Amino acid sequence: MAHPEPATAGAAEAHGHGTGEARPATGRRSPALSGRVRVPGDKSVSHRALIFGLFAEGTTHITGLLEGEDVLNTAKACAALGACVTRTGEGAWEVTGTGGRGLASPAAPLDFGNSGTGVRLMMGAVAGQHVIAGFDGDASLRRRPMKRVLDPLAQMGVEVVASAEGGRLPLTLKGSSATKAITYETPVPSAQVKSAVLLAGLGAEGETVVIEREATRDHTERMLEHFGAEISVEPHGAHGRRITLKGRPHLVAAPVDVPADPSSAAFPLVAALIVPGSDVILTDVMMNPLRTGLITTLLEMGADITVVAERTEGGERVADLRVRHSRLKGVEVPPERAPAMIDEYPVLAVAAAFAEGTTAMRGLSELRVKESDRLAAVAAGLAACGIAHEVKGDDLLVTGAATVKGGGPVETHMDHRIAMSFLVLGLASTDGVSVDDVAFIATSFPTFMPMMRGLGAVID
Ligand code: S3P
């Protein structure tokens, strides 16, 4: 059993928060941005590629894997659970799975750092196996709700041996190879909850059914099929889906080519829209319709985004996006769009700060349980930069202006997307925007700083 190559872990540390010290930075008024970039691989697909590689018979070859801290922690967990995980080049990884032999109990608690996706999916993976495993994470992850996953897993037969108050991390699970197949309607729209139940269903005899009232990202379903499981997806109600997985499938290694992450592309994309004169091309961006809510919204706001060379690669729609500086106008963003752009509201709020009129983002309750309370963190950041806004219940209203002064320091609360969003805001402000800590950017977009500077952004 090999652990991820030490060089990779070391590289992540150099970018990341390995020292534990906060690293402030400032985004400053920048000249027109230009260039052609490919942002790193999609985080959701990267986690899943490793996890399905862990279960499969044979060796899964992954290219374009996101080598951010969140995914590297999942790679380490896969190794601890019995896979052989090797880095063979930049973004190129091989995972030799456990196949029919089942997962192994890890010797030490699995540490998922900042990653809700990593820990929640892995809790599901362990649930259907004859395994005892400890789960832990950093201070942000220890605050986040885990009961949304533990509740359905308990129905399937997993035992929570120990946990912190309210079912939070650190916790220990005892999985069972006699997991019960259930039909579960998710109470919140969450791809993580759906995926945890489906992964637990791999160990169950019979059909595991997940019903979601609002469709969420479907990478788990696509990958289950890609690795040979029998799975069907039907519409449910106006916006939902019913997913049925036949238990105990024989999963076989399959190659995964990870497309560029639309949630990371969102930052240079919005930067190009708000910095005058900009003209930027983002290549190979995943265009899965359950991930493109931000693009839909920005187009409604009048953004000049051209979708070039749309194609299918590795089972996902991808395209190059040409983005030019645009005069934006405020729009209503309906609540049912939230699952397709759940991680993009902080940077949409930044775009809205430059739009004419008010942008009303409705139904954002799930933002309160992300890496930080993103509704509160965005509102506080907008306040620190002098941007007119209002939080009304679960809605965020942002009123734009022709010029934005900027300010800070914006508190990022261990949240990579708050840090990147406000640095982007600084690029089009008159006085710049400082943020208190950029270390967590390494969780999802370790090359953010050099890539943005390469486009012409002034960040120091
Ligand atoms: C993810 C699902 C979303 C998203 C997260 C990634 C996934 O979380 O916010 O960044 O890969 O399944 P929820 O499922 O909690 O909405």
Alpha carbon of 277 to ligand 1 centroid (Å) = 34
pTM, full prediction: 0.96
Residue limits of CATH 3.65.10.10 in the chain: 11-41+259-459, 43-253
Residue numbers annotated as active site: 343
State the average pLDDT over residues 298-311: 97
Would you state the pLDDT for residue 21?
86
**Is pLDDT at 12 greater than 60 in this prediction?**
no
Categorize the per-residue pLDDT at 13 as very low, low, confident or very high, splitting at 50, 70 and 90: very low
- State in Å: Cα 117 to ligand 1 middle: 6
366 Cα nearest atom in ligand 1: 16
Which residue CA neighbors atom 9 of ligand 1 most closely?
Answer: 343
The CATH architecture that domain 11-41+259-459 belongs to is: Alpha-beta prism (3.65)
447: tokens are: 């090359």
User: Domain 43-253: which CATH class?
Assistant: alpha beta
Task: Extract the annotated binding site.
Answer: 43-44, 48, 116, 144, 190, 192, 343, 370, 374, 417
Across the beta sheet with 458-459, the strand order is: 407-410, 433-435, 25-28, 458-459
Q: Which residues have C-beta within 8 Å of that of residue 177, sequence separation ≥ 6? A: 102, 128, 129, 130, 203
The CA 347 to ligand 1 mean position distance, Å, reads 16
CB-ligand 1 contact for 44 (6 Å cutoff): yes
- Check residue 16 and give its pLDDT: 52
Tell me, using a 6 A CB cutoff, whether residue 343 lines ligand 1: yes
Residue 192 CB–ligand 1 contact under 6 Å: yes
CA 140 to centroid of ligand 1, rounded, Å: 15
Return left, alpha or beta for 406; rule: phi > 0 is left, psi -120 to 50 is alpha, else beta: left
Residue 294 is predicted with a pLDDT of: 99
Cα 217 to middle of ligand 1, angstroms: 8
Question: Ligand 1 within 6 A of 129 CB?
Answer: no
Asked if residues 259 and 311 have their Cβ atoms less than 8 Å apart, the reply is no
Atom 16 of ligand 1, residue of closest alpha carbon: 190
Is the CB of residue 298 less than 8 Å from the CB of residue 351?
Answer: yes
Is the CB of 117 within 6 Å of ligand 1? yes
User: Residue 177: what pLDDT?
Assistant: 86
444 lines ligand 1 (CB under 6 A): no
15 pLDDT higher than 70: no
26 lines ligand 1 (CB under 6 A): no
| Residue owning tokens 């939080």 | 391
d(CA 148, CA 265): 29
Q: For residue range 192-248, list pLDDT tens digits in order.
A: 999 999 999 999 999 999 999 999 999 999 999 999 999 999 999 999 999 999 999
For residue 4, name the pLDDT band (cuts at 50, 70, 90). very low
Choice from 42, 43, 44, 74 to test ligand 1 binding pocket (greatest atom count within 8 A of CB): 44
Residue percentage of the chain with pLDDT more than 90: 94
**48 Cβ below 6 A of ligand 1:** no
Distance from the alpha carbon of residue 438 to the mean position of ligand 1, in angstroms: 21
Distance CA 64, CA 255 (A): 11
**12 vs 428, higher pLDDT:** 428
Q: Phi/psi at 375 (nearest 5 deg)?
A: -65, -45
Average of per-residue pLDDT values in the chain: 95
Judge if the beta carbon of residue 190 lies within 6 A of ligand 1.
yes
User: Which atom, in ligand 1's list, is nearest to the CA of 47?
Assistant: 11
Which atom of ligand 1 sits closest to the CA of residue 263?
10
* Binding-site positions for 3-phosphoshikimate: 43-44, 48, 190, 192, 343, 370
| Closest ligand 1 atom, residue 370 Cα | 9
